[in-house]
Chains A and B, each alone.
Chain A
Amino acid sequence: MKRTTRNALCNLLLLAAGAALLLWVDRTFDRYVVQVLNLIAINTILALSLNLIYGFTGMFSLGHAGFMAVGAYVSSLLILPQAQKQTIYILKPLIWPLSVLQAPFFVAVLLGGLAAALFAILISVPVLRLGGDYLGIATLGFAEIIRVVANNIVPITNGALGLKGIPSYANLWWTYGWCALAVIFIARLVQSNTGNVLKAIRDDEVAAKAMGIDVFKYKVISFTVGGFFAGIGGALLASLLTTIDPKMFTFMLTFNVLMIVVAGGLGSITGSVLSGAVITVLLEWLRFVENPVTIGGFTIPGVPGMRMVVFSLALLCIILFRREGIMGMREWSWDMLFRGRTRGGEAR
């Protein structure tokens, strides 16, 4: 029992240290750095949620942008001030209950996540019977349908104009608070026997069925929890950027999340956390490539599109040369630190 006490203590210390760090960063650094740090937290949430669905349960889902859109719209509609709602809905006014509904930020984000989870349950009935690449293309289809619908139901989503002036409540405390929640819940889930069951489904569905596992039920659970956190990520992102429109939630967004998961390692929480930070910083850093740079009097013009060229090349390199990503399926744990174990998960 000493080991568990020690680990719990270490976790608490880590959380406290993280909070102190946030306090320091919040006071010291400029808005840009804080913005990037916020993005890291959100991307980590998104990556973890996709990793749960794909990395741990083996369901190749390409519908993350759809979950994010649901979370973003629901939560934004709940925090937009009434006056702002009247100003931005030019083509058609916002329909009644939504035009007056308001919720505190936490509740709004939570409801965004729950709406995405509900959406996940709804689509899981038809799509989760499919396997492999067909599941990918069907979830991608649902995400695209969401986008087209968001473009068209003007009295709710304001159509192509999108929502502007969303209050920017998302600060480091909120984003990292939710991120910590996602890390802790998903990590504990995959380490429990429920997590073992999900991995069993990933490894061999037939054997899982023979061992008494209701495969469909657990797929729905994994898909829904993943959808929930994707919705949370979308809700936080909307408040961070203060503007959303349907064009934002294209396949490209899903691709970015997929990249983080693959780079970190399918089936590794540690990998997703590490790669969430690395890839977000890389993506931000690559923005400079697209802006004009002046070195010693010479101006090198920025190259639009270059960022995604480098980014997609990086994904190709990972898939071709290091398919297991940063971590493979390994996890970091306190035991590793104290005892130097290499294989985590179910360490004694």
Chain B
Amino acid sequence: MSLAMFVQHFFNALTLGSLYSLIAIGYTMVYGILRLINFAHGDIFMLGAYFVFFGTIAFKLPWLPAVLLAVAASSFAGILVDRIAYRPLRDAPRISALISSIGVSFFIQNLAIVLFTGIPRPVQQPKILTGIMQFGAVRILPLTLVVPTISFVLVLGLLWIVNKTKPGLAMRAISKDIETTRLMGVSVDKIIALTFGLGSALAAASGIMWALRYPQVHPLMGSFPGFKAFIAAVLGGIGSIQGAMVGGLLLGFIEIMIVAFLPALSGYKDAFAFVLLIIILLVKPTGLMGEKLEEKV
């Protein structure tokens, strides 16, 4: 493989990895505080992409307001899902909420098929992102630079909220002990809603960039990126935001590089993540950066 090819693969992997990271962060935040795998998270990702699609095509909005509106709407959708499908189950066995989230996921997917039809629709990229940048023998899509940059900025913003603000402190407190935090006078439900809102916003951002990168939208587009991003979150250590970021990037690199170096395995591309998941669960279930959870006797 030539160096130029490798550099191209590198940027592709970086892009895919950043997109996984953004989704994975939503999974990890929700799991961190509720111990819930939010299956519907991938579908919020899809909604974000569709909202921008309709904003720019149907309502002829300029890109920036369309994106902002889409992110806000997806964020609201995430909060709504929590309010309707998860909050009533806070005291139920943990698996009930999980089944509920699987139900929500299928509901959103199929509602999208009903409303938007099941046909994939092409997405028009904005002018500045089209064309190819040439550096010597290396040809790079502008998006492969833009996506990682935006993702990085978003993650920094999130880390600032979680680590430096009061609601962020409450979030961290809830992830340690929800009952005690409630007794300390924190409005737990509001903070959980905020968590869903933030996670969904990141997922929507990822969905929008995904739709630009592989320029189309489809009602089931969130399903596989969703699963894989969850695996990325497990890989990085569920509950840890930095872990989710690292896990997402790592998964992006694994997927792109295995296919790049061993093209014979390209048909198995969608299975890599699952194989990786099983290896991780066997070798180090707490992930790369996760904390250990002890079983009490």
Which residues from chain A sit less than 8 Å from chain B, CB to CB? 60, 126-127, 129-130, 132-134, 136-138, 140-142, 144-145, 148-149, 151-152, 206, 251-252, 255, 258, 262, 303-309, 311-313, 315-316, 319-320, 323
Contact = CB atoms under 8 A, between A and B. Distances in A.
Contact of A308 (B35, B95, B106): B106
B26 to A, nearest CB: 16
B277 interface: yes
Nearest to A152: B267
B37 interface: yes
B110 A149 contact: no
B281 A138 contact: yes
Nearest to B219: A305
Contacts of B219: 305
B1 interface: no
Contacts of A316: 85, 100, 103-104, 107
Contact of A145 (B102, B109, B234, B274): B274
A130 B114 contact: no
Nearest to B238: A134
A319 B268 CA distance: 35
Nearest to B99: A319
Contacts of B36: 133
Contacts of B223: 251
Contacts of A304: 113-114, 117-118
B106 A303 contact: no
A126 B278 contact: yes
Interface in B64-121: 85, 88-89, 92, 94-96, 98-100, 102-104, 106-107, 109-114, 117-118
A307 B95 CA distance: 25
Given A305-B118, A320-B85, A148 B271 contact: yes
Contacts of B99: 258, 262, 315, 319
B14 to A, nearest CB: 25
Interface in B253-279: 267-268, 270-271, 274-275, 277-278
Contacts of A206: 295, 297
Contacts of A60: 95, 98
A3 to B, nearest CB: 35
A141 B285 contact: no
B137 to A, nearest CB: 33
Interface in B20-37: 35-37
A303 B295 CA distance: 49
Interface string B219-241: 10001000100110010000000
Interface residues of B, number: 45
Contact of B277 (A129, A141, A311, A315): A141
A133 B98 contact: yes
B281 A320 contact: no
A258 B92 CA distance: 18
Given A258-B99, A311-B106, 14 more contacts: A133-B35, A133-B98, A134-B281, A137-B231, A140-B227, A141-B231, A142-B274, A142-B278, A148-B267, A148-B268, A312-B103, A313-B103, A315-B106, A323-B92
Contact of A309 (B35, B114, B118, B271): B114
Contact of A132 (B85, B94, B104): B94
B282 interface: yes
A148 B106 contact: no
B277 A137 contact: yes
A309 B110 CA distance: 5
A138 B98 contact: no
Interface hub of B106, B113, B223, B268 (most chain A Cβ within 10 A) = B106
B113 A305 contact: yes
A137 B37 contact: yes
Q: 5 nearest interchain CB pairs?
A: A305-B113, A141-B274, A308-B110, A148-B271, A312-B107
A319 B114 contact: no
Contact of B271 (A144, A307, A311, A313): A144
Nearest to A135: B281
Nearest to B107: A312
Contacts of A137: 37, 230-231, 234, 277
A152 B277 contact: no
A145 B273 CA distance: 9
14 contacts: A133-B37, A134-B281, A137-B37, A137-B234, A141-B278, A144-B274, A206-B295, A206-B297, A303-B114, A312-B106, A316-B100, A316-B107, A319-B96, A319-B103
A328 to B, nearest CB: 14
A11 B95 CA distance: 35
B281 A319 contact: no
Contacts of B88: 320
A134 B230 CA distance: 11
Contacts of A319: 89, 96, 99-100, 103
Nearest to B265: A152
Contacts of B109: 308
Contacts of B89: 319-320
Contacts of A130: 281, 285
B106 A255 contact: yes
A138 B278 CA distance: 6
A255 B114 contact: no
Contact of A313 (B94, B98, B107): B107
Contacts of B95: 60, 132-133, 136
A136 B281 CA distance: 12
Nearest to B95: A60
B259 to A, nearest CB: 13
Contacts of B271: 144-145, 148-149
Given A126-B281, A262-B99, A252 B106 contact: yes
